[in-house]
Amino acid sequence: MSVNLQTPIDYLKGVGPSRADLLRKELGIHTYQDLINLFPNRYLDRTHYYKINQLQRNNADVQVIGKITHFKEVAQKRGKRLVATFQDDTGTMELVWFRGQKWIKDKLKCNKPYVVFGKTNWFGGKFNMPHPEVEALEEHENNLRSAMQPVYPSTEKLTNSGITNRALSKIMQQLFIETGGKFSETLPDSLRAELQLINKQSALFNVHFPKNQELLARAQFRLKFEELFYIQLQLIIKNLIHKSKIKGFPFNHVGDYFNSFFKNHLPFNLTYAQKRVLKEIRADLGSHAQMNRLLQGDVGSGKTIVGFMSMLMALDNGFQACLMAPTEILSVQHYSGLLQWCKKLNINIKILTGSTKTSERKKIHETLENGQLQIVIGTHALLEDKVKFKNLGLAIIDEQHRFGVAQRSKLWHKNTSPPHILVMTATPIPRTLAMSVYGDLDISVIDELPPGRKPIKTVHRYDNNRLNVFRFIRDEISKGRQIYVVYPLIQESEKMDYKDLMDGYESLSRDFPMPDYQISIVHGKMKPEDKDYEMRRFLKGETQIMVATTVIEVGVNVPNASVMIIESAERFGLSQLHQLRGRVGRGAKQSYCILMTSHKLSNDSKVRLETMVKTNDGFEIAEVDLKLRGPGDIMGTQQSGVLNLKIADLIKDQDILQHARYHAKNILKIDPKLELSENKSILNTYRQLSKFKNIWNYIS
């Protein structure tokens, strides 16, 4: 009888109800399937046996063959410890237990050969091994035990309840005995032959009981490829279904609005990257399928103008367009920027935010519904039920990671059929992450800055260089430039942050006294109208220095500001440092970013600061950030579910991911419905996966 992998774990010999309960709660193991997909974190090399006189004082895991000559109990502050003298033909060491002494004394016999395994300590002139794994030599030699011993994920609760790594290994062994090690193949023979992948059975056996390093590496590669292949397959199919099922409004022609803007009002020549992205958007909008595109571009790369020109395509085809931004400041900035162009083209544009007056709001609602209002810019206020469009053709969402999926779908349902969607972000997403999290969106990248933009010069300075930094600020102000000084804001310690900010403000006021210098200050405790007043003063050039917390991270565009000083830079994440730096360098003049820190820096902080000094490339920075923080942190919890990987690692296995996506795409290109007989195993696995959220649930 073949064992069903969906059998509850309780039925596996050696598990039973109480162990099953613990495995469910602590490791999420409900079925045989879940157990087989509990992959080891690391492996201990059990090929080597040490002699006692070869041991080094390095706290490493070692295994030694020898005999126990005698036991003694030693009194200590609390209770006793059990000490056994262990000896081989080169010397003696001690084995020590602080608990479970009676059981150990009953179980272990003197003068019988044992293999002991564990970490060694040097204490009182000899080596000892606390709580070693002890196994009779005879049993050790007969066991289904690989030379590379797996170490499984565990918790304190499991270990304390007797489900040690060794116990998990035995349970796993039992699973292979009960299933006969037979697991159905999930990849076609042709693909396995092309990539020289071992079969599913060998892969699972050798990942849990590897005979040697080479077989382990082949098993891991096979299982990682499979996991990433099915994630990519699901995302690509989702995209294909989306395109075939969800019809978009066809924007069949490019008309007067677009052409007039392009010929007469374009403020600068488009970069090659902007032209390429516009072509990709144009192809989507004319394809009769709903566009679902992610536009990535670094701070200042010119995403807004691409977004605006896409809106003009909607207007040329008789549709309305909207742009939604996460904050009021950002909405206002987008509105002010687009208003000047709309006036030239005689386009009706309005802004709708939380602080729009009721009378104005009513008017906006009416003109949106009767179609007189062509473009609306706004915040979450656009999602309110009262906001209805006559014919919304294109919705642009800025900094989309700030909006949840539910909010985006609300925007979709404003129409009888969904508008085209363009999602913009200035937070570069590493390629691997974009492929895994947004793999169902088409991705466009603006990867060059407009001509004439000078790269921002970034330096790292310690607090004791402050006088030189102040001298530099004075020089820049004398040239008519403006300066940002930003302090960290971390919610838990708001009082401390406020103090830092006020101390900084006071010391700057002493060094840059009125009336020669004017300083603005902006922080989270101020009323919105006071914040706006201070921001406007800085924008008009009435103040030379803006002291602020990270509220200025997104939004404010002051071309005349040429220096960004980031205080306690070690307390910021990489993407935040990069976003803040992007507030300067908006004009044609050379701009600077100065990272101020104390001398006390962690290794991660050093890497972050060195990265900032070395490069202005947001994508390179995002890759380093991914390595430092891991995928879950970067995407935020709402997105990280996709990345709950069992064996693959997005950072270390980028090459495998690219391979997996390439092969998934190729197979679907030739056989979009997976109808060919050679793809039967893929179709079966895909169908099983579609029933379950967790990608691995049915993969065996």
pLDDT score at 61 = 80
Q: Which residue ranges make up each domain of the chain?
A: 1-38+154-182, 47-144, 200-230+654-691, 256-446, 457-615
Q: Give yes or no for a contact between 398 and 326, defined as CB atoms under 8 angstroms apart.
A: yes
pLDDT score at 249 = 84
Question: What are residue 567's phi and psi, to 5 degrees?
Answer: -80, 150
Could you tell me the sign of the dihedral formed by the alpha carbons of 158, 164, 169, 175, in that order? negative
Q: Where is pLDDT greater, at 532 or 673?
A: 673
pLDDT score at 3 = 61
The two tokens of residue 514 are 């009125």
Fold match, 256-446 / 457-615? yes
Rounded Cα–Cα distance for residues 366 and 379 (Å): 18
Q: Give yes or no for a contact between 261 and 310, defined as CB atoms under 8 angstroms apart.
A: no
Q: What is the pLDDT of residues 33-48, one digit of tens each?
A: 899 999 998 888 777 8
Q: What is the Cβ-side half-sphere exposure of residue 188, based on CA atoms within 13 angstroms? A: 17
Residues belonging to the chain:
700
| Pairing of β 292-297 and β 457-462 | unpaired
Q: What is the pLDDT of residues 538-548, one digit of tens each?
A: 888 899 999 88
Number of CB atoms found within 10 A of residue 58's CB: 9
Q: Smallest Cα–Cα separation from 79: which of 107, 101, 95, 94? A: 101
Q: What is the pLDDT of residues 150-161, one digit of tens each?
A: 889 888 888 888
pLDDT band at 492 (very low <50, low <70, confident <90, very high): very low
Interhelix angle 200-208/165-179, nearest 10 degrees: 160
β-bridge mates for residue 519, sequence order: 545
Q: Give yes or no for a contact between 698 and 688, defined as CB atoms under 8 angstroms apart.
A: yes
What burial letters (b/e) apply to 607-621, b meaning 16+ CB within 10 Å? Answer: bbbebbeeebebbeb
> Any idea which of 65-74, 393-402, 472-481 has the lowest mean pLDDT?
393-402
pLDDT score at 146 = 57
Q: What is the pLDDT of residues 566-589, one digit of tens each?
A: 998 998 888 888 888 988 887 778
pLDDT score at 636 = 46
Rounded Cα–Cα distance for residues 386 and 475 (Å): 53
Omega within 30 of 0 (cis) for the link into 672: no
The two tokens of residue 298 are 């670094």
Interhelix angle 654-670/213-245, nearest 10 degrees: 50
pLDDT score at 157 = 85
Rounded Cα–Cα distance for residues 537 and 552 (Å): 14
| DSSP element (H, E) containing 521 | strand 519-522
CATH topology (fold) of 1-38+154-182: DNA polymerase; domain 1 (1.10.150)
- Return the C-alpha torsion angle 523, 524, 529, 534, nearest 10: 10
Could you tell me the sign of the dihedral formed by the alpha carbons of 7, 11, 13, 15, in that order? positive
pLDDT band at 695 (very low <50, low <70, confident <90, very high): very low
Q: Give yes or no for a contact between 620 and 610, defined as CB atoms under 8 angstroms apart.
A: no
Collapsed DSSP state (helix, strand, coil) of residue 126: strand
> Any idea which of 137-146, 453-462, 689-698 has the lowest mean pLDDT?
689-698
Q: Where is pLDDT greater, at 374 or 215?
A: 374
Rounded Cα–Cα distance for residues 250 and 15 (Å): 60
What burial letters (b/e) apply to 236-260, b meaning 16+ CB within 10 Å? Answer: bbebeeebeeeebbebeebeebbee
Q: Which amino acid is at 372?
A: Q
CATH class, domain 47-144, is: mainly beta
pLDDT band at 140 (very low <50, low <70, confident <90, very high): confident
| Termini Cα distance of the chain | 17
Q: Give yes or no for a contact between 214 and 646, defined as CB atoms under 8 angstroms apart.
A: no
Q: Give yes or no for a contact between 692 and 263, defined as CB atoms under 8 angstroms apart.
A: no
pLDDT band at 644 (very low <50, low <70, confident <90, very high): low
Correct CATH for 256-446 of 3.40.50.300, 3.40.50.720, 1.10.357.10, 3.30.70.580 = 3.40.50.300
Average pLDDT over the chain, rounded to an integer: 85
Give the CA distances from residue 536 to residues 102, 550, 588, in Å, rounded to whole numbers and listed in that order: 77, 17, 22
> Any idea which of 211-220, 267-276, 410-419 has the lowest mean pLDDT?
410-419
pLDDT band at 422 (very low <50, low <70, confident <90, very high): very high
> Any idea which of 101-115, 131-145, 268-282, 405-419 has the lowest mean pLDDT?
405-419
Number of CB atoms found within 10 A of residue 364's CB: 20
pLDDT score at 634 = 45
CATH topology (fold) of 457-615: Rossmann fold (3.40.50)
* Contact residues for 508 (Cβ-Cβ < 8 A; gap 6+): 485, 519, 545, 547
Mean local confidence (pLDDT), 449-474: 88
Give the CA distances from residue 455 to residues 42, 250, 458, 590, 672, in Å, rounded to whole numbers and listed in that order: 43, 40, 9, 8, 45
